[in-house]
């Protein structure tokens, strides 16, 4: 009969997923406030799922290392990270819209933010907590502060030079 008790390793994986969910939520909250297509929940899920996949790669390495040679099984946890990065890239691409009116591409920042949420989740899955927290804070600065800087530069570059005195 299968043993359904929680192992200590599973608790640590759950803690990692919870940390990634919180950090992804912190990143997604700004997108939610800006009414962007991928906001709070999307960034939380992407960060949490990324942490879970990477953590499961670690679990596979630990659980199966003693049973069979790794070369025989083809276990390579970096493949999981590759799959997460590519998969999230497709999700991000789904948020990008090209306007037919003025050929303007919209929501690139949201797509890039989704990708960064996955990177934060991967950091947590690799137990790089300080890196994950610092990158999350940097994302808030980039998405919040630099939005104003970008807007200021855009306004200045679109101004008619004849209007300036």
Query: Using one digit for the tens of pLDDT, what is the confidence trace for 144-156?
Result: 888 877 777 777 7
- Looking at residue 74, its pLDDT comes to 66
What are the phi and psi torsion angles at 94 (to 5°)?
A: -70, -20
74 burial class (0-12, 13-18, 19+ CB within 10 angstroms)?
A: exposed
In the chain, % of residues over pLDDT 90: 52
Residue 163 is encoded by which pair of tokens? Answer: 């209007």
Domain-wise residue ranges, the chain: 8-68+81-156
Confidence band of 137 (pLDDT split at 50, 70, 90): very high
- Looking at residue 149, its pLDDT comes to 78
């Amino acid at each position: 009969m299968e043993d359904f008790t929680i192992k200590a390793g599973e608790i640590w994986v759950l803690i990692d997923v919870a940390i990634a969910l919180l950090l992804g939520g912190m990143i997604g909250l700004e997108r939610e406030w800006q009414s962007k297509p991928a906001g709070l929940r999307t960034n939380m899920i992407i960060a949490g799922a990324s942490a879970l996949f990477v953590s499961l790669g670690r679990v596979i390495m630990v659980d199966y290392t003693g049973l069979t040679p790794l070369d025989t099984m083809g276990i390579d946890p970096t493949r999981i990270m590759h799959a997460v990065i590519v998969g999230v890239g497709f999700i991000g691409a789904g948020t990008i819209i090209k306007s037919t009116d003025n050929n303007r591409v919209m929501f690139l920042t949201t797509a890039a933010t989704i990708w960064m949420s996955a990177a934060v989740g991967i950091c947590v899955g690799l137990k790089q907590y300080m890196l994950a927290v610092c990158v999350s804070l940097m994302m808030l600065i980039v998405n919040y502060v630099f939005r104003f800087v970008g807007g200021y530069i855009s306004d200045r570059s679109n101004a008619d030079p004849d209007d300036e005195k």
